[in-house]
């Protein structure tokens, strides 16, 4: 039976390690400060932000939620970011995506001071990632690296294949694994013979946002499968194709009206040696690593640490 990689357990371990660091900062000067900017009322974004604020409260991190209306202009949001950049008690700034169409998201992300870029998306911090220099790392890929390390899954010398080339997951994931001495291949929508490429992987990371796309033919014997996707399926026919007559899950679908599924087919993980479930796998790690970034940025600001 494949090992189930429990993201909640890893998350709890990471957060437990952060708590004394937060307490030391509070004793030395003040707790870390995180500002979260949530524009408008997107239901998914509101849930994510609520969970982030809750994690801050549980750790003792000062959090401030700023909720401008969805009519805000780019210039107004840039002025808000500039004000947060100037506040010394704010160590990290997070602008929840997506932003309304009239807002230039690229300009907004560039406006966040690199030493307050808690998401690790600013080009300055992307450069630090490329150079393997200290700096905040994108939270989801960093969480996956922590899961592999804490699960004692060897990365050095292994073949890693990543499906997806986004700036948020695919590209930084490739760089982090490369820094761990894996041999890395990035696959995408134009990759020829995609299943063949994936079967060569010792570590397969699925991050393309397509429900149940990765099936058994993509997974080599004994591979470690990391499923980054989280997709909500509401179409009964699509759900039936995915569930293949699984009566328990089919009953759950009809009761809830939706099916939560990753990019890896939930019934096709048998070839793997270990895999992340959806939900409960990669998802819990993203907020945990956001807290890590916030604490590390505060340590730089308060204690002058650079490593």
Cβ–Cβ under 8 Å, residues 39 and 80: no
User: Whole-angstrom Cα distance, residue 66 to residue 133?
Assistant: 31
Considering just the CA atoms, what is the radius of gyration of the chain in Å? 20
Length of the chain counted residue by residue: 307
Q: Where are the alpha helices (DSSP H) in 92-133?
A: 105-111, 123-130
Cβ–Cβ under 8 Å, residues 155 and 177: yes
User: Any catalytic annotation for residue 8?
Assistant: no
Give the torsion through C-alpha atoms of 25, 28, 34, 35, to 10 deg: 180
Sign (positive or negative) of CA dihedral 302, 141, 169, 288: negative
Rounded to 5°, angle at Cα 106 from 101 and 107: 100
DSSP-based three-state secondary structure for 135: coil
Residue 151, CA distances (Å) to 86, 92, 117, 224, 265 in order: 40, 29, 28, 11, 22
Tell how strand 62-66 and strand 33-37 pair up: parallel
User: Any catalytic annotation for residue 117?
Assistant: no
Q: Which of 91, 116, 117, 119 is catalytic?
A: 119
Helix (DSSP H) and strand (DSSP E) numbers for the chain: 11, 11
Closest CA to 23 of 73, 60, 76: 60
User: Any catalytic annotation for residue 52?
Assistant: yes
User: Whole-angstrom Cα distance, residue 26 to residue 273?
Assistant: 43
Q: Which of 96, 117, 202, 263 is catalytic?
A: 96
Active-site residue set:
52, 96, 119
């Amino acid at each position: 039976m494949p090992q189930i990689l429990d993201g909640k357990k890893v998350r709890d371990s990471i957060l437990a390690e952060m708590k004394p660091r937060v307490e030391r900062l509070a004793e030395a000067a003040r707790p870390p400060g995180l500002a979260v900017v949530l524009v408008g009322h997107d239901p998914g974004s509101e849930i994510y932000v609520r969970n982030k604020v809750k994690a801050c409260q549980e750790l003792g991190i000062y959090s401030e939620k700023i909720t401008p209306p969805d009519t805000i202009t780019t210039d107004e949001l840039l002025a808000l970011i500039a004000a947060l950049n100037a506040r010394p008690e704010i160590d990290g700034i997070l602008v929840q995506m997506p932003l309304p169409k009239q807002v230039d998201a690229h300009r907004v992300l560039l406006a966040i001071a690199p030493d307050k870029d808690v998401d690790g998306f600013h080009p300055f911090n992307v450069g630090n990632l490329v150079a393997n220099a200290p700096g905040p790392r994108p939270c989801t890929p960093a969480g996956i690296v922590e899961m592999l390390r804490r699960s004692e899954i060897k990365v050095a010398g292994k073949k890693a294949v990543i499906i997806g080339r986004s700036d948020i997951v695919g590209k930084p994931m490739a760089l982090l694994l490369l820094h761990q001495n894996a041999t890395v291949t990035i696959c995408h929508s134009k990759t020829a013979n995609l299943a063949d490429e994936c079967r060569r992987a010792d570590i397969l990371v699925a991050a393309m946002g397509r429900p149940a796309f990765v099936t058994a033919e993509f997974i080599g014997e004994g591979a470690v499968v990391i499923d980054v996707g989280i997709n909500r399926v509401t179409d009964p026919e699509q759900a039936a194709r995915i569930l293949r007559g699984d009566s328990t899950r089919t009953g759950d679908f009809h009761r809830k009206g939706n099916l939560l599924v990753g990019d890896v087919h939930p019934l096709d993980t048998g070839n793997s040696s270990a895999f992340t479930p959806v939900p409960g796998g990669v998802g819990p790690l993203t907020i945990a690593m956001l807290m890590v970034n916030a604490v590390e940025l505060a340590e730089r600001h308060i204690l002058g640490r650079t490593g």
